[in-house]
Structure 1
Amino acid sequence: MIQRRPFFLTFLAPAVLTAVILAAALFEVLQYSVREFVPGSLNVGGFTLENFTRINRPIYWWVLLDTFYISLLTAIFSLLLSYPVAYALVRAKRDWVRSLLVSLSITPLFTGEIVRTFSWMLMLGSDGFINSVLRKLSLIDLPLQIMYTRLGVVVALVQFSMPVMIILLATAISHVDRDCEKAAANLGASPGAVFWRITLPLTLPGILSGLVVVFAWTMSAFSTPQLIGGGKVLMISNLVYLQGFSVLNLPFAATLSVIALIAALGSLVLMKSLTGRLEKRLAVR
């Protein structure tokens, strides 16, 4: 009797292969992080923990805190701007409205990150679109300094993250049982009360998922802070690039990568714990 190979193994093999390659790459970065830097050479020396002691300097801690701060702001503003769009996308009664919102939401994903970043440079520059319009309206005399600031980086990252946030929120809103909202309305609840007491709590899993995904995604942002920040706003990925490709200090660049990975995983665990407590409180109420 011929024994057939289980069907799921055919689909499991690519995932296992990808996991093995990822684990090998992470191990390579880890072993580089504990190797000695040889100035003027791409070769590394023996094992050392000096790279991890070097990280305990104010400049590196400030970059890490800036990365957390920018990532958190990006996640929050992406949520605030994306929720109305996702709600309208799901609840719109006309098909052409939904089609238009889908097109506007997904289209940014078809353009590269570099293209979008350069577009924002044209918008936010001293002679860019925003300052030109404000000058013509006589609202300002001197151009606003938006480029090379945290504000400019956050604005560009929010636009970059919104399509993903909209998709996650729209999925959560589409799974809300409309009968619960109708029951609340029949009991005398106003539309605002229905939204705050019924719709919003039921979409909380999508909100939390969107916050976590955008936060983790922004933690690894490189080209947007590199171009919009112009070297004045550094995130951890930009610091890794400077150490690895400008100074050619590959061991310390690997150390920064390990620290960034640990920080990202730690923040995700913390957010999961906080969101779990929030879900329990809402469930009790």
Structure 2
Amino acid sequence: MIQKRPFFITFLAPAVLTAVILAAAIFEVLQYSVREFVPGSLNVGGLTLENFARINRPIYWWVLADTFFISLLTAVFSLLASYPVAYALVRAKKDWVRSALVSLSITPLFTGEIVRTFSWMLTLGTDGFINSMLRKLGLIDMPIQLMYTRFGVVVALVQFSMPVMIILLATAIAHVDRDCERAAANLGASPSAVFWRVTLPLTLPGILSGIVVVFAWTMSAFSTPQLIGGGKILMISNLAYLQGFSVLNLPFAATLSLIALVCALGSLALMKTITGRIERRLAVN
């Protein structure tokens, strides 16, 4: 008699295989980060910590700071743009409104990052949609420089991140107990007071989760800052690409990649800690 395999093994095996492949890839990056760079060759030398010591230079600190700044701006503006959409998505009374909002929210996920980035290049360019409209309206005489700026990079990244932020916020808003809102309204609170003092605090875990997830995701952005920034706006992934494929300094590129990974994992760990504290505080109150 053939004994059937346990149910959980069938579904656990793909996850374990994926984890093993990911761990192997991370280990490969780690071992490259502690190797010597051999100029003009793809081969690497012996063990060294010079790659980590090299980070302590102003130009690399500036790139790291710029990466953090752009990622933070993207997370904050994604939150501001996504919260009203997520709120309307959950609280809309008509089914067709919710269906339309869902379609508009998740459709960008089905288009490639390169396609969306090129669309923004056409929109933000010197002769793009925005400048053309402003000139036709007589608001400007000369085109505004939107491409190759931090503003342009952040705008494109916000649009790229909004679907994920909307999904996270909608989940948090959907879990808000409507009885709490009704109780506040029955006690004389205005609709705005109910939102600011009841609904918004109860969605803080979702807000924090969205900010940190978008922040960690933006840390690894490559094509958007590469194309919209045009080489003038460098994030850590673009710097790793230049070191790995232009200079062929694979060890230092691996070091930069490892630093980006640690920062992303650190932000996710911080999110878990802070979210747990907020949830415990809300439970007590």
TM-score normalised over the length of structure 2: 0.95
TM superposition shift of 1:267: 3.0
TM superposition shift of 1:46: 1.1
Q: How does 1:139-154 map to 2 (within 5 A)?
A: 139-154=139-154
The aligned amino acid for 2:206 is G
CA distance in 2, matches of 1:176, 1:280: 15
How many residues align structurally?
Answer: 285
1:89 maps to what in 2?
Answer: 89
Q: Is the alpha carbon distance of 1:271 and 1:65 closer, same or farther for their aligned partners in structure 2, counting shifts above 3 Å?
A: farther
CA distance in 1, matches of 2:274, 2:98: 34
TM superposition shift of 1:85: 0.4
TM superposition shift of 1:4: 4.0
Secondary structure of the corresponding residue to residue 45 of structure 1? strand
Secondary structure of the corresponding residue to residue 17 of structure 1? helix
CA distance in 1, matches of 2:55, 2:135: 45
Q: 1:174-203 CA deviation, whole Å, 9 max, x = no partner? A: 122212211211111110111112111221
1:233 maps to what in 2?
Answer: 233
Q: How does 1:1-285 map to 2 (within 5 A)?
A: 4-279=4-279, 282=282
Q: RMSD across aligned C-alpha pairs, in angstroms? A: 1.6
The aligned amino acid for 1:124 is L
Larger mean Cα displacement after TM superposition, 78-87 or 181-190: 181-190
Secondary structure of the corresponding residue to residue 56 of structure 1? coil
TM-score normalised over the length of structure 1: 0.95
Q: 1:93-125 CA deviation, whole Å, 9 max, x = no partner? A: 111111111111111111100000000001111
Q: 1:211-254 CA deviation, whole Å, 9 max, x = no partner? A: 11111110100000000000000000000100011111111111
TM superposition shift of 1:263: 2.1
The aligned amino acid for 1:236 is I
Structure 2: stretches of 5+ with no match in the other structure: none
Secondary structure of the corresponding residue to residue 36 of structure 2? strand
Contact kept, 8 Å, 2:66 with 2:235, in 1: the verdict is yes
